[in-house]
Amino acid sequence: MNPDKNNRPEWRAAVYDRSREADVRMMETLLEAGTAQTVCDRMDSQLEDLAQARVVRKPTNTSEIDARIEGILNGLNRYDFGRWIYYPWLRSMVHVLPPEQFRELRLDRNRHKITAAEQVRLSSFAVGIVGLSTGNVIARTLCLEGTSERFKLADFDSLELSNLNRIEGGLHELGLSKTTLAARRLVEINPYAVVVPFESGLTEENLDEFLIGEPCLGVVIDECDDLRMKLLLRERARSLGIPVLMATSDRGMLDVERFDLEPGRPIFHGLLADISSNKIGELTDEQKLSLVLSIVGIESMSTRAAASLLEIRQTISTWPQLASDVMLGGAAITAAVRRLALNEPLPSGRHFVDLDEILSRIPPKSTIARSDPAGATSGAATHAEINNSLDPRLPEFIRFIVEHALLAPSAGNNQPWQFYSDGLHLWLIHDRERSRNLADVESRFSYLGLGAALENIRIAAAHLCCETDIEFFPHPSNSTVVACMSFRAHQGGDVSKDADLFPLLPLRVTNRRRATPIEIPESQLRTLAEAAEKAGAVVRFLTSRDTLSQLGRIIGACDRIRFLCRPLHEELIAEIRWNPAETQRTRNGLDLHTLELTPAQAVVLKLLARSDVASLLRQLQAGSGLKELSASAITNSSAVGLLSVKRGTAADILRAGTAFQRLWLLATRFELGLQPLGAIAMFSLLDVQNPRIFNAAEAAELQSLRDEFERLIPTARDRIDLLLFRLSKVLAPSARSLRLPISQVLFFGEPPEEGDDAIRRTGRKKGR
């Protein structure tokens, strides 16, 4: 290998024309000194092939072939005809046809998919390639096909062993500049190709030289990893009217931006909104990751690519690429460049050549943020099916207290309640259609939510100077009627403590913001515990940093199982409302903004929303990164509380719900953020022994986590643990979950009989 004057590895092929005396001397010197260690002279066969290629029928006799060859030689002897090419890195001298005849014969098999006239046009079309991993294959494919003979190549990196799963290179070339490697491959295929390498990569300083310096580019192919350069490259290309192509090496995606035809076209099709290259330096790594995922497309990524993305820095080091995907990208880009150069239609946008999808004959993948996700309405009737006006026979008092009952929390904001009133009594109904959830073992979470609604009713009534009498489960034959309430003006009774909580009802909210651990005064924790105990519940608070750290690890592991276990994954994703329109339409479930995720975390959640991605992670026993969000939230909390009851009847859990709501309201008064946690529900599912839920590995891991939890927080034999929750000193949340309109949950009359189809369809009693 001979270094050039810049002490860089040589990539230029020396082209010797023996009609020039200086070239003859240089060539003879190389041969005599033994520098050119091998000589390949196949001119005879090249001349014969060229002669035959120039006629439609194959010549039938040797004399005809010889005559045509003599015509091609035009009086020159064969040794002096054509060009001799010396490749310094190979120490080889090769004899080839002159440029025009070389192109004619090398590309003869392109005819007539590419005509001779088109081939000439293509030869002068200059292509710039930024990033020479995928770009290496693209350059080689373009060169092989003759779609271009003029290249600019930019990459600052060198060949490593981990590149050899997709880049054509040898072990002896490790450490070689990727630009040099690509340039060598091009001139080994076509020694007459014009190659301009940018071995320091593309920079803001050399960008214009790359785009408009000789040869002036007809298209830019972006395969670089640097987000700022991706944006800067497009901004400048758009101003110059140069189209940009990109292949992602996943699902055969080809991205086309026709800045030559659409000078005002938004960069990356507007996927990055108003983000420009000069703003990238202000962004965090998480924000940059979110932008990258917006570019590649969360919904359109293949299952394995999406799952792999979630494992970066967990079980893999970087974005995976397969040789088959990279080569498919090379083919797609080459076809697109050919259409550009020949002025054939090539619209802006994204095009997919998904071989896995084609070969397995599966339908195109659906998007995640769909307008009507499965489970979004949980069987509830649409607005068009329900009269949105309340029955005029309902007293204003009943309307008032039910409006405030609706502010109560419920698991996943499923709002498992309906209310009936005859004007004197108010019945609270468990709407089981809204709470069909595997994690709601024995309806415990539903009863906690219903109990919270009862507490709100008591407080709202106290605000109106009324006392509330509650009878739990008044109809033994109808378990959906969980409570019957009657109201009376207070007669000397003290309802002021309840009334004092009334202003807190609209302020209480689940707060999932991340916090820093700030100590909560012991007096406040004691007040919260005593409030719960007066209503028949027991609350224990954990504040030790070591205990919270261990608990965070346990809860994080539980959350990973919940995310990846298919039945639980379906329920979890069905709870989320992905956009404002869906949030307003359903008015239940969890608005994505209430999860308080960073942009990158929101993107990861959208990837996890895909059942195929979650299923693959489960199959691989991967997804360890899913533990970190919950683990960090618990570790950085001020305290974690455990809500328990002494007995586990439905009425006991309803009372615990009232206790928990009162505790939550007092925490709101203390300006503490509260977030319920789901680990107890996961442990309860082990007792259900439903083989549909967990596989053997998950069940074993969950049992181990449960044992660890019970060692950390011993469970009293006379108590049933219901709920974990965390407390933090945090700012108010950025969003609140909506509630169903009162007209969909409050009806006049006595409650229907259990099993009445009318309650499931419309919430109205038959005949009313």
Helix (H) / strand (E) element for 425: namely strand 425-430
Q: Are residues 58 and 156 in the same domain?
A: no
What is the DSSP-derived secondary structure letter of residue 473?
S
Q: Is residue 328 part of a domain?
A: yes
Q: Is residue 292 part of a domain?
A: no
Helix (H) / strand (E) element for 350: namely strand 349-352
Q: What is the pLDDT of residue 296?
A: 85
Q: Are residues 392 and 445 in the same domain?
A: yes
Report how far residue 224's alpha carbon sits from residue 226's, in angstroms, rounded to the nearest whole number: 6
Residues 6+ apart with CB under 8 A from 426: 398, 401, 402, 419, 420, 457, 484, 485, 486, 487
Q: Are residues 156 and 55 in the same domain?
A: no
Q: Is residue 306 part of a domain?
A: no
Tens digit of each residue's pLDDT (9 = 90 or more) over 218-272: 999 999 999 999 999 999 999 999 999 999 989 999 999 999 999 999 999 999 8
Mean pLDDT by 10 residues, the chain (768 residues): 48 95 96 95 96 77 88 94 97 97 94 91 97 95 97 96 91 94 97 96 96 96 94 97 95 95 95 88 83 84 85 82 92 96 96 86 46 35 47 94 97 96 96 89 94 97 94 92 93 75 96 92 96 92 95 94 92 93 95 90 88 89 88 94 90 96 97 93 81 85 94 85 94 92 96 63 38
What is the number of alpha carbons within 13 Å of residue 2 lying toward its C-beta?
14
Q: Are residues 557 and 626 in the same domain?
A: yes
Closest CA to 220 of 229, 228, 350, 166: 229
Q: Which two tokens stand for residue 629?
A: 């969000």
E strands, 116-158, are: 126-130, 150-154
Q: Are residues 416 and 556 in the same domain?
A: no
Residues 6+ apart with CB under 8 A from 718: 646
Place of tokens 């499931």: 760
Q: Could you tell me whether strands 126-130 and 219-222 are parallel, antiparallel, or unpaired per DSSP bridges?
A: parallel
Q: What is the pLDDT of residue 27?
A: 96
Closest CA to 341 of 195, 126, 138, 189: 126
Q: Is residue 276 part of a domain?
A: no
Q: What residue spans of 297-407 are helical by DSSP H?
A: 303-310, 323-341, 355-360, 396-405
- CATH number of the domain bearing residue 614: 3.40.109
Q: Are residues 579 and 682 in the same domain?
A: yes
Q: Which residues form the domain of 88?
A: 1-106
Total structural domains within the chain: 4
Are 608 and 597 in contact by the 8 Å Cβ rule? The answer is no
- For residue 175, count CB atoms less than 10 angstroms from its CB and return exposed for 0-12, middle for 13-18, buried for 19 or more: exposed
Report how far residue 156's alpha carbon sits from residue 453's, in angstroms, rounded to the nearest whole number: 63
Are 694 and 439 in contact by the 8 Å Cβ rule? The answer is no
3-state SS assignment for residue 673: strand
Q: Is residue 304 part of a domain?
A: no
3-state SS assignment for residue 728: strand
Q: Are residues 440 and 348 in the same domain?
A: no
Q: What is the pLDDT of residue 386?
A: 37
User: pTM for the full model?
Assistant: 0.74
Q: What is the pLDDT of residue 445?
A: 94
Dihedral through CA 691, CA 692, CA 698, CA 700, nearest 10? -10
Q: Is residue 419 part of a domain?
A: yes
Tens digit of each residue's pLDDT (9 = 90 or more) over 686-702: 887 666 789 889 999 99
Cα 294 to the center of its chain, rounded Å? 8
Q: Which two tokens stand for residue 410?
A: 């419920």
Q: Are residues 491 and 586 in the same domain?
A: no
Place of tokens 């003869």: 108
Place of tokens 């196949």: 42
Q: Is residue 341 part of a domain?
A: yes
Q: Are residues 97 and 129 in the same domain?
A: no
- CATH number of the domain bearing residue 458: 3.40.109.10
Q: Are residues 328 and 413 in the same domain?
A: no
Q: Are residues 134 and 80 in the same domain?
A: no
Residues 6+ apart with CB under 8 A from 462: 468, 490, 495, 496, 498, 499, 502
- CATH number of the domain bearing residue 130: 3.40.50.720
Q: Is residue 333 part of a domain?
A: yes
Report how far residue 368's alpha carbon sits from residue 573's, in angstroms, rounded to the nearest whole number: 10
Backbone dihedral angles phi then psi of residue 619, each to the nearest 5 degrees: -60, -40
Report how far residue 182's alpha carbon sits from residue 18's, in angstroms, rounded to the nearest whole number: 28
Q: Are residues 98 and 128 in the same domain?
A: no
Q: Between 679-688 and 696-712, two packed helices, what is the crossing angle to 10 degrees?
A: 120
